[in-house]
Amino acid sequence: MKTEILRLDNFGRGITFYKDKICFIENTYPNEIIEFEITKETSKYYEGKAIKITKPSNNRVESKCKYSNICGGCSFQEYKYDEENKFKEDKIKSLVKTQLKQKNIVKKIEYDKDYFYRNKITLHGSNNNLGLYKNKTNEIINIDECNITNKRINAIIEKLKKYNDIKEVLVRTSNDEKQVIIDIKGKEQDYKELEEISDVLIINNKLITKNKSIITNIGSKKYYLSSNSFFQVNEFLTNKLFNKVLEYVKEIKPSNVLDLYCGTGSFGIYISEYANKIIGVDYNKSNIEDAIKNKELNNIKNIDFIADKVENIINKFDNYDLIIVDPPRSGLDKKTIEYMIKINPKYIIYISCDPNTLVRDLKLLNKEYIINEITPYNLFPKTYHVESVSVLERKSVEK
């Protein structure tokens, strides 16, 4: 069967129509003529697979990854980077226009390098294969390198291939790639070579090295990172995103700041010189342990951290003129939004990693807050994911 790809959906899949129903076809791009087959049918849509690209898009490029269309990690290895950035900017603009009925608040997308940008990877192992999961399966694709992961990690992947029966391994580096964590689950064996090249080595949850964390930096601030710490993975663009938040904070001049889903305290610490008091909240105890250490590392006195779920504790806060939120992809729950509105800060800064949950939450907050602007960030090149920073201002002047 032949068809033309009309546009991309929010997940970067090509859209066409088959028998009067929408059909999603991965690894295809607008204006392409393809031969395809149906792989899934539901009552509302089809999913298909391209068998042959009869007429490729002018924006299709040759992939630099030998695992394209096999590994499920990247959607845009064969798409021009300029078009990828346009797709992500337009995706947020479209959602804002249709869901929030607003125009001209989405700024130009910020981006940086499109290859070798990630400072973290998790590989899976089985039957002496070590690599990434095949798209939508638990089948492991044996890989020698990942071209969206930094070169220091790729050199370590090469060394990991020498070992048998690794079930899972996490490798992460500092942003300057000088320090490394390797966390392995699998067969007990001689990992001496890995101990020599890592600052932190963990084997089956047992710390082998003296240190259990590394130090990375964003701007002038330093941060401890442990194996399971939440931290931005793009070592080039993260600094721009943090500076955007700092730019807003300098304009707002807040007295008291509530930093929700604070992770290792990264945003709160970064803006600490421009507020009187900051409270950070995160449910992950390991994140909070790192956040406390990061506070001490940077000699910061005006920030404290609480280990608890945001929804469990949000009703206990009052008298904050700025709330910063950096939630997971699921976004904010209704209770959190309800109490954020009750706290009634003059400003809210919302860092989002999912445009769909962002606009859902902004729609609720928009009843009491004006959305001043949204700046997209392509923190995850070659994938469909896009980050953004939104700044909201209270509509009523009086508290």
Which residue(s) pair with 280 in the sheet?
259, 305
- Distance in angstroms (rounded) separating the CA atoms of residues 137 and 367: 42
d(CA 225, CA 116): 20
Report residue 282 as tokens: 């995160």
Distances (CA, A) of 267 to 221, 225, 348: 10, 15, 13
Tokens at residue 92, please? 């947020």
Q: What's the distance, Cα to Cα, between the start and end of the chain in Å?
A: 62
Any bridge partners for residue 55, and if so which? 33
Paired with 24 in beta bridges are 15, 47
Instruction: Determine which helix (DSSP H) or strand (DSSP E) holds 337, and give its type and residue range.
Output: helix 334-343
Sequence-distant (≥ 6) Cβ neighbours of residue 184 within 8 angstroms: 166, 168, 169, 191, 194, 201, 202, 203, 204
Would you say 275 and 252 are in contact if contact means Cβ atoms under 8 Å apart? no
Give the CA diameter of the chain.
Answer: 66
Residue 397's pLDDT is 60
Which amino acid type is present at position 336?
Answer: T
Q: What tokens appear for 177 in the block?
A: 């790639």
- Token pair of 362 as six digits: 């902004």
Confirm if 295 and 230 have CB atoms less than 8 A apart.
no
Q: Identify whether the C-beta of residue 378 lies closer than 8 Å to the C-beta of residue 109.
A: yes
Residue matched to tokens 């009086």? 398
Convert the pLDDT of each residue in 91-146 to its tens digit: 999 999 999 999 999 999 999 999 999 999 999 998 888 999 988 788 899 999 99
Kindly report the pTM of this predicted structure: 0.93
For 258, phi then psi, to 5°, come to: -110, 120
Q: Say what the pLDDT of residue 228 is.
A: 86
The domains of the chain, with CATH numbers, are: 2-60 (2.40.50.140), 84-112+236-394 (3.40.50.150), 120-217 (2.40.50.1070)
> What is the 8-class DSSP label of residue 95?
H
Residue-level pLDDT, tens digit, the chain, 399 residues = 999 999 999 999 999 999 999 999 999 999 999 999 999 999 999 999 999 999 999 999 999 998 987 887 898 999 999 999 999 999 999 999 999 999 999 999 999 999 999 999 999 998 888 999 988 788 899 999 999 999 999 999 999 998 988 999 999 999 999 999 999 999 888 999 999 999 999 999 999 999 999 999 999 999 999 998 888 999 999 999 999 999 999 999 999 999 999 999 999 999 999 999 999 999 999 889 999 999 999 999 999 999 999 999 999 999 999 999 999 999 999 999 999 999 999 999 999 999 999 999 999 999 999 999 999 999 999 999 999 999 999 998 644
DSSP label at residue 238:
H
